[in-house]
Amino acid sequence: MRIDEALAWAKSRLETESPRLDAEVLLAHVLGKGRTYLISHNDSVLDEPALQAYQRLIAERETGRPVAHLIGKREFWSLEFQVSPATLIPRPETELLVELVLEEAAPAGAKVLDLGTGTGAIACALAHERPDWRFTAVDVSQEAVELATTNVLSLGLTNVRCLRSNWYDAVGDEQFHVIVSNPPYIDALDIHLTQGDVRFEPASALVAADHGLADIRMIAAGAGRHLLAGGLLAVEHGYDQGAAAREIFSTAGYVDVRTHQDLAGHDRITLGRLPE
């Protein structure tokens, strides 16, 4: 079977949101090539081992397994991260959190805490842009901490430490200039939990009590003890949680509270500062 024929076959099998992209990414992975290779060599014939490997991956994707899990990696902030079923898969909308933190004023040598780091994507993306900042990335899952550590090392970052911690527990009385988090924020009854990639991701990283707001409340309440005066708190949340997040921040005493929308126009990131 030729490359173009294999892609056509795969696209006819897949009923995902992006069958063409999925088919191309999986075949490029099997061949160890970039997606542009598939275009320039579309008449090349796949050998039998490659074809069988590709057919197995397409069969797995048909069950709904995420492409990132099938190839073991996902790009975020133009960096390559290893992924596993133990953590959330980094998503494009979370790049807005990175952008906003980089735009906010923080001094050279700033200390940043990433709560619930998962793959380490947020901390690593920020650390890549600001090698002068120092990062602490924590997660309650030991598997996540090990994965984040692997990503820190593979990206050659020397300004990120990864710790196992139930939110703030492992940082003691340490204070930071910036605290960031993409916490669990989905209601347990949300129908989206039965759809798409989230079916294969850990519920502990997705679901929070109090209609998805419990962890955001806890983070906002605890950040006051761990932020330096004037420090920034930046949290990702659900598309319909902007107003609630702003109320949580304001009630907890933060100032300059504001919500930013993602590229789809949905409320996505709420920021606030500890008063000077």
**Three-state SS across 29-94?**
HHHCCCHHHHHHCCCCECCHHHHHHHHHHHHHHHCCCCHHHHHCEEEECCEEEECCCCCCCCCHHH
Residue 260 binned pLDDT confidence (cut-offs 50, 70, 90): very high
Q: Is 149 annotated as a binding residue?
A: no
Q: What is the pLDDT of residues 167-176, one digit of tens each?
A: 999 999 999 9
Q: What average pLDDT does the segment 190-200 reach? A: 75
Residue 265 binned pLDDT confidence (cut-offs 50, 70, 90): very high
For the domain that residue 192 is a member of, what is the CATH number? 3.40.50.150
Q: Is 117 annotated as a binding residue?
A: yes
163 lies in the same domain as 233? yes
Residue 188 binned pLDDT confidence (cut-offs 50, 70, 90): confident
Q: Is 119 annotated as a binding residue?
A: yes
Q: Is 116 annotated as a binding residue?
A: yes
Domain limit, last residue, from 22, 39, 63 = 63
Q: What is the pLDDT of residues 132-142, one digit of tens each?
A: 999 999 999 99
Residue 202 binned pLDDT confidence (cut-offs 50, 70, 90): confident
Say if residue 97's pLDDT is above 90. Answer: yes
Q: Is 275 annotated as a binding residue?
A: no
Say if residue 200's pLDDT is above 80. Answer: no
Q: Is 139 annotated as a binding residue?
A: yes
59 lies in the same domain as 106? no
Quote the pLDDT of residue 98: 97
Average confidence score pLDDT of the chain: 93
Residue 96 binned pLDDT confidence (cut-offs 50, 70, 90): very high
Q: What is the pLDDT of residues 218-253, one digit of tens each?
A: 999 999 999 999 999 999 999 999 999 999 999 999
71 assigned to some structural domain: no
Q: Is 54 annotated as a binding residue?
A: no
Q: Which residues contact 61 (CB under 8 A, 6 or more apart)?
A: 14, 16, 22, 26, 67, 70
For the domain that residue 31 is a member of, what is the CATH number? 1.10.8.10
The strand pair at 160-164 and 227-236 is best described as: unpaired
Q: Alpha-carbon distance 176 to 134, whole Å?
A: 10
Say if residue 17's pLDDT is above 90. Answer: no
Quote the pLDDT of residue 177: 97
Q: What average pLDDT does the segment 255-267 reach? A: 95
What domain range is 134 assigned to? Answer: 77-273
Q: Is 136 annotated as a binding residue?
A: no
Say if residue 42's pLDDT is above 80. Answer: yes
238 lies in the same domain as 208? yes
Residue 266 binned pLDDT confidence (cut-offs 50, 70, 90): very high
Q: The whole model's pTM is what?
A: 0.89
25 lies in the same domain as 120? no
Say if residue 192's pLDDT is above 80. Answer: no
Domain limit, last residue, from 13, 35, 63 = 63
Quote the pLDDT of residue 130: 97
Quote the pLDDT of residue 105: 76
Between 186 and 46, name the one with better pLDDT.
Answer: 46
Quote the pLDDT of residue 184: 87
Q: What average pLDDT does the segment 100-109 reach? A: 91
Give how many domains the chain has, as a whole number. 2
Q: Is 185 annotated as a binding residue?
A: yes
Q: Is 262 annotated as a binding residue?
A: no
Q: Is 187 annotated as a binding residue?
A: no
72 assigned to some structural domain: no
| Residue written as token pair 């997660």 | 139
